[in-house]
Amino acid sequence: MTTTTKFGVDQVAVRGDTRSKIAVPDALSVGKHRRPHPSAINQWWVLTARTVKSMVKRYELLVAVIAPLIFTIGFYLPLKFVMQLQGINYAQFLMPIIVLQAMAFTSISAAQMSSTESITGFSNRMKTMPVVGPIPLLSRQSSGFVRSTVSLAAALAFGHLIGFRFSAGIGQAILFCAVALAFSTCLSFAGDAIGSLSKSPQATSQALTLPQLILGMLSCGFAPETGFPEWIRPFVRNQPVSQFSFAMRDLAQGGVTWSVLFPVVAWTIGLIVVFAPLAFWASMRRS
């Protein structure tokens, strides 16, 4: 006697007083696997949390706090009295470049992180799994944003100790922070792209440190434009670090005008347009 159920075919053999029942699986259920349905948001959250925890264990967030302190002491104390003789409130003048240097420091960390994930094979491992393409890149950017926010808060705290104040209102202060974080995001994309293409985290950090130092020193962040020779003033005045420092200085005191803010917006859009696709391509390529 044979009976059929929805789960398969039951074959029942009757032998005297003994019944034996053997279940035969339905053909439709054989070899059937549940297809993974990855959630991009969950993947982003898990990878970001993983990176932030790693940053805490490696004391990277502590370094993000200490770096602005070193910049504040190293830049403010040697030049304070010289600038006071020129009638410049140097704490107010210097604070934007301290913040920008702290933000630039985070791009080096972003480059080291992407380079480390590349050479250890973690990036290639992500590409073999059902992970949405740009999620590893976005998670690195998110963790870098956390590091930049911590560094920005520390820089503003140290700046307050030396006399820096926001006198243009809360709205301008918020925009000041937004401009700083936009600068950090631009450099983080650049650092991530370079790190993904590099085979050495140490060489990557060294390669990024030099241009940041040059742009920082040859800017209007540490001294007015009149303190530079005539032949280099056009470069000093128009390069991005100077333009960001002009806008942030006005945002902190007196309020910014569109003519001062427009170059910052243009530089931000231009850098994102160049480096974000480059970082995406570098993170997606198979090595």
Q: Where are the domains of the chain?
A: 40-284
How much is the pLDDT for 82?
Answer: 83
Residue 38: per-residue pLDDT:
65
Residue 181 and residue 148 in contact, taking contact as beta carbons nearer than 8 Å: yes
Give the burial string for 117-154 (b: 16+ CB within 10 Å, else e): bbeeeebeebeeeebeebbbbbbbbbbbbbbbbbbbeb
Query: Using CB atoms within 10 A of its CB, is residue 64 exposed (0-12), middle (13-18) or buried (19+)?
Result: buried
pLDDT score, position 32: 53
Q: What pLDDT score was predicted for residue 271?
A: 94
pLDDT at 88: 86
pLDDT at 227: 87
Which residues are bridge partners to 18 per DSSP?
15
pLDDT at 287: 55
Specify the pLDDT at position 180. 96
- Of 107, 108, 123, 256, the closest CA to residue 182 belongs to 107
User: Per-10-residue mean pLDDT for the chain, 287 residues long?
Assistant: 47 47 49 62 91 89 92 89 85 94 84 80 76 86 93 95 92 95 92 82 75 89 90 94 95 91 96 93 75
